[in-house]
């Protein structure tokens, strides 16, 4: 037998002698069959039976030979040491460990280990030793194989790991942080990604990039009002004195201060700063300076007091008891120079204002400001004017004369029911009425006649 080294480049034929013997057997059987078929001295029927018997024997022989050859080959596959390259032959199905029918091809010859992996032959039939970051049977799997970068981020191998390069608007190790991460939409707004940013769909009443602008944004409730969200709108709880949807209606709303007064909110109400000449809560009243006070029953001459210049520039005040007598201001002496605009006459009873008359003082003097023509307004109404006298009637029964006299120059008396008169001894000659001559009555007086007769006039309170 030849040495194995002499057969390296020659394919062996370990079973050729068996094949030759089998061929001889088949030839011999064919000859026998031909000889049998050549017998002519038997009947046709027996001839047919003989053919069948011979055919069965032939088929059985072929099957037997085939089985014999199969088991002969199977029982000794390694009989002629068929394995090259130091391979050891062992019965293992139909393969030999190395690739190729004779182990002529190494399992690593096709470089199955990818990505610079190192291949080692073993019974598996090979093992790959992978570079850092690679794994799998053939080192196919990289750190980027399972697509760790989300949201279309790009994965790049970095040593044994990976790095994700995220699209604009995305970040995080795996690009998992989207523009909507953390829900930037306030007040229950819905976030959706739009390119590298986000868009918020806000509930009704809310606006802004992140729905941060609420119905109460910017504090729409004015003047200290408290804002509360109500559905898609707001409701203001206003402080006392303020009203309106946004508490915009202040105590000064509508400018309650008259005659050019300036309004200032004062808590739940307002306060008016009135210009010169006006007073009152809403500057509705003219501001008058008291320049003359005449009190009843003080035994002083009213006319003399009015005519006598004052020595000082005092402003007199009303006193319930008038203990100071008739009081006079030096303004009377400068009437023409001061340019008096309006004059008011008031009647007080026990300190309470009962009556008031307003006169136009423009271009007046200290002696003609009380004329009927200058009467601006009063609680009196004029009934008749039959002569150029200074008298005015009071509100009331117009069937009788209720005259108000402020001058010593008057006429009348008959039928007068209610008078306010200035009685002065200096003008005794102007007393046509009986009660004017009553002793001790030289002072301002209110007289009334309960039965419309002058003889029953009495002094009032």
- Residue 280 and residue 334 share a domain: no
Same domain, 268 and 300: no
According to the model, what pLDDT value does residue 164 have?
A: 93
The phi-psi region of residue 277 (left if phi > 0; otherwise alpha if psi is between -120 and 50; otherwise beta) is: left
Write the CATH number for 268: 2.10.25.10
CA distance 223 to 185: 31
Residues 276 and 295 in one domain: no
Same domain as 455, residue 427: yes
Q: Which residues of the chain have pLDDT under 70?
A: 1-42, 71-104, 295-304, 311-325, 349-351, 354-355, 367-368, 370-373, 378-461
Say if residue 333 is in the same domain as residue 400: yes
Question: Has residue 35 been placed in a domain?
Answer: no
pLDDT digits (tens, 9 = 90+) for 215-226: 998 899 998 899
Q: Percent of the chain having pLDDT more than 90? A: 13
Burial of 123 (C-beta count, 10 Å sphere; 0-12/13-18/19+): exposed
**Long-range contact set of residues 301-304: C-beta below 8 Å, sequence gap at least 24:** 301/424, 301/425, 301/426, 301/442, 301/443, 302/326, 302/422, 302/423, 302/424, 302/442, 302/443, 302/444, 303/408, 303/422, 303/424, 303/426, 303/427, 304/424, 304/426
Q: What is the DSSP secondary-structure string of 383-398? A: ----SS--EEEBSS-T
For residue 32, being part of any structural domain is answered with: no
The answer on 445 and 313 residing in a single domain is yes
Per the DSSP assignment, residues forming a β-bridge with 262 are 273
425 with 338, same domain: the answer is: yes
Q: Count of domains in the chain?
A: 2
Range of the domain at 404: 288-459
State pTM to two decimals.
0.37
**Six token digits for residue 438:** 């009553």
137 Cβ contact list (under 8 Å, min separation 6) = 128
In the prediction, which pLDDT does 287 show? Answer: 79
Q: Which residues fall within 8 angstroms of residue 220, CB to CB, at 6 or more apart?
A: 227, 234, 236, 246
């Amino acid at each position: 037998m030849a040495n194995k080294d002499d057969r390296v480049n020659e394919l062996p034929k370990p079973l050729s002698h068996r094949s030759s013997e089998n061929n001889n057997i088949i030839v011999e059987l064919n000859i026998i069959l031909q000889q049998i078929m050549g017998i002519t001295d038997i009947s046709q029927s027996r001839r047919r039976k003989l053919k069948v018997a011979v055919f069965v024997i032939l088929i059985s022989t072929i099957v037997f030979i085939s089985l014999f050859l199969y088991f002969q080959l199977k029982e000794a596959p390694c009989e002629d040491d068929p394995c090259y390259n130091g391979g050891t032959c062992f019965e293992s199905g139909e393969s030999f460990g190395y690739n190729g029918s004779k182990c002529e091809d190494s399992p690593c010859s096709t470089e199955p280990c990818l990505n610079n992996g190192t291949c080692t032959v073993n019974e598996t039939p090979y093992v790959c030793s992978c570079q850092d970051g690679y794994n799998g049977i053939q080192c196919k799997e990289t750190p980027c194989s399972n697509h760790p970068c989300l949201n279309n981020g790009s994965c790049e191998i970095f040593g044994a790991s990976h790095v994700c390069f995220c699209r604009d608007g995305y970040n995080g190790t795996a690009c998992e942080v989207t523009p909507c991460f953390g829900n930037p939409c306030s007040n229950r707004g819905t976030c959706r990604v739009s390119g590298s940013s986000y868009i918020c769909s806000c509930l009704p009443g809310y606006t802004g990039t992140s729905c941060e602008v609420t119905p109460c944004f910017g504090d729409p409730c004015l003047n200290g009002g408290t804002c509360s969200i109500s559905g898609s709108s707001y409701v203001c709880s206003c402080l006392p004195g303020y009203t309106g949807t946004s508490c915009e209606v202040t105590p000064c709303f509508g400018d309650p201060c008259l005659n050019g007064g300036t309004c200032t909110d004062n808590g739940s109400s307002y306060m008016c700063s009135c210009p010169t000449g006006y007073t009152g809560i809403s500057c509705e009243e003219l501001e008058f300076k008291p320049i003359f006070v005449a009190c009843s029953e003080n035994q002083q001459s009213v006319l003399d007091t009015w005519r006598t210049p004052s020595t000082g520039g005092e402003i007199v005040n009303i006193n319930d008891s008038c203990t100071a007598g008739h009081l006079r201001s030096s303004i009377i002496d400068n009437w023409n120079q001061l340019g008096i605009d309006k004059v008011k006459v008031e009647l007080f009873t026990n300190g309470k204002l009962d009556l008031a008359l307003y006169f136009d003082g423009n271009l007046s003097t200290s002696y003609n400001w009380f004329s009927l023509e200058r009467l601006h307004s009063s609680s009196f109404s004029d009934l008749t004017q039959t002569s150029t006298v200074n008298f005015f009637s009071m509100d009331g029964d117009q069937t009788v004369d209720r005259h108000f006299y402020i001058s010593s120059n008057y006429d009348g008396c008959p039928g007068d029911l209610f008078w306010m008169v200035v009685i002065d001894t200096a003008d005794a000659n102007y007393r046509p009425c009986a009660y004017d001559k009553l002793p001790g009555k030289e002072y301002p007086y209110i007289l009334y006649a309960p039965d419309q007769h002058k003889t029953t006039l009495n002094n009032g309170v």
